Amino acid sequence: MGTIVVIGGGELIELETLEIDREVVQLTQKVKPKALFIPTASSDAPGYCDTFSKVYGDILGCETSHLLLVSQTYTQDEITDLITAADLIYVGGGNTRKMLEIWKNTGVDTLLKEAYSSGTVLAGLSAGSICWFEYGHSDSEAFDDQGEWQYIKLAAMGILPGIAVDNNCAIIYKDNEYKVMSTREVAKAYRVIDSEQGVVVTEIEEHPSYRPLYELYGAL
């Protein structure tokens, strides 16, 4: 098992998730961790890269680098070296479907799985939070501003229990435990289950310490 920080969303440039980002850095247990930003979902938006360097570099003290799979061309060795050298990997938001297609074509999906197994801290928001899991709701299609709650429709497919996370909130998965963090009082995480009474959404309580993962998903 490894560590994944699932951030529902928030404006990195406005420091809306700064305390969560600080926790991401601390999870590496390094004084100056190497932080790799993968902005594939935003088509390598230059401003996004600058923001990541400011927050994770200037403010949080990381040595930052970027893997720009849309705007640059790399050899397979170069991609492998960037991913394997990172202490933490942060994936930005944007178009989930496009991102996953590019990752598959470049072998990045496999390399990220290997990074997880080797202990690299994985994190991201929006598309960068969905990408670590087998199923998830994406707004890569045309949804309104509340589109993330279309995720609840997965109940009809039997793909539950599931987790929904507000903007400015995160769930940290660490080995066989989890913890909820939020940077706004109203920002919450929820467990979504299918029952005889229909789809039931319950708030996941925020605790200062980690809780056993079976509380969310049952025995694994």
pLDDT at 149 over 60: no
User: Chain-wide mean pLDDT for the chain?
Assistant: 87
Query: pLDDT tier at 159 (50, 70, 90 boundaries)?
Result: low
pLDDT score, position 142: 37
The vertex-39 CA angle with 126 and 84, nearest 5°, equals 105
CATH class in words for 3-217: alpha beta
More confident residue, 161 or 61: 61
pLDDT at 152 over 90: no
Helix (H, G, I), strand (E, B) or coil at 186: coil
**Chain position carrying tokens 């990045």:** 108
At 213, list the tokens: 């993962």
| Strand spans (E) along the chain | 3-7, 34-38, 63-66, 88-91, 121-125, 162-165, 169-174, 177-182, 189-195, 198-204, 211-212
What mean pLDDT do residues 68-93 have?
Answer: 97
For the ranges 94-108, 135-149, 189-203, the lowest mean pLDDT is seen at 135-149
Complete DSSP assignment for 37-98: EE-GGGTS-HHHHHHHIIIIIIIT--EEEE--TTT----HHHHHHHHHH-SEEEE--S-HHH
What mean pLDDT do residues 99-110 have?
Answer: 96
pLDDT at 145 over 90: no
pLDDT score, position 67: 98
The domain segmentation of the chain, as residue ranges, is 3-217
pLDDT at 40 over 80: yes
| Backbone conformation region of residue 133, classed left if phi is above 0, alpha if psi is from -120 to 50, else beta | beta
pLDDT score, position 200: 82
Instruction: Give CA torsion, residues 92, 96, 101, 102, to 10 deg.
Output: -20
